[in-house]
Amino acid sequence: MALTTYLEAIRQAMFEEMRRDPSVFLIGEDVGVYGGAFKVTAGILDEFGPERVIETPIAEAAIIGAACGAALMGMRPIAEMQFIDFISCGFDMLTNYAATSRYRQGLACPIVVRGPSGAGTRGGPFHSLNPEAFFMNTPGLKMVEPSTPYDAKGLMKAAIRDNDPVLFFEHKFLYRRLKEDLPETDYIVPIGKADVKRAGEDLSIITYGAMVHTALEAAQTLEEEDIHVEVLDLRSLLPYDKEAILATVKKTNKVILLHEATRTGGIAGELAAFITEEAFEYLDGPIVRVASIDTPTPYSPTLEDFFLPNAAKVAAAARKLAEY
């Protein structure tokens, strides 16, 4: 079996779901002839034609609004944001309309809004965003951010089949860097279920997306120092897997919360509050956050490297916590 990249896993999921269900269609900027800015949708127009692969103007609010309308009429649109940063242009449609549709009128709004997120590719402040905290406070939305090709394919299939709006964040740094053997049979990764990517007993790193690999790199370094780190990949950010979080906290008693998004107001704060409320008596040290510093993403490679979390920063935080 040929190895499959993270990018190709997402494309496979969309191909397979469009073949399985004629109500699934793509909508977005350059998703057809060009195949998407990162070629995630390459070849889909050739098979399904312009009625199911719909090119749009540069108008994210209109893309998401059209997707919502189609969903209410029984379709299952996949709306691409060329860069996830510009999801902010459709914020009103997502938070005031799509997320409240079931509550207001009992209607499902099965849309997937997907796109490349994250930094590390020298994209600067308009093309490097991690916007998950913007939506964490919005009941009715679901959010996922896979870290592996297997999870990317399974979560995309689950998102397309879900009857509520799902935000699907694809870390662009992972697109072509990861390869994995994928099952030939149909499978999904359930939304809301975390995954232990590495077992350990001294402390836990709870993270998601590209930072899973940063955590695993740090854990490998720490293993040589006899510090055994457990890495919990959330996979789903809303809803997040409370049972898995509590299980790893109770197992190791020390926690690092790691995300690439900037520190202040990031979802690590929500997770820290949850752990404090539900598992305070199991903690043997302070909950530690490792995140990007509170600035826009720099364009300069040197400054971007300084801005982002990395394995060395995570390992340093882990050593300090292990000694507590």
Query: For this structure, is 127 an active site residue?
Result: yes
**Two tokens, residue 32:** 């057809």
The b/e string for 48-78 (b: 16+ C-beta within 10 A; e otherwise) is beeebbbebeeebeebbbbbbebbbeebbbb
Q: Is the dihedral of CA 117, 122, 124, 127 positive or negative?
A: negative
Alpha helices for the chain (secondary structure H) = 6-20, 44-48, 60-72, 91-92, 101-105, 132-135, 149-161, 211-223, 242-252, 267-279, 301-307, 311-322
- Pairing assessment for the beta strands 4-5 and 179-180 based on DSSP bridges: antiparallel
Choose, from 127, 171, 213, 259, the residue flagged as catalytic. 127
The phi-psi region of residue 36 (left if phi > 0; otherwise alpha if psi is between -120 and 50; otherwise beta) is left
Query: Which active-site residues does the annotation give?
Result: 127
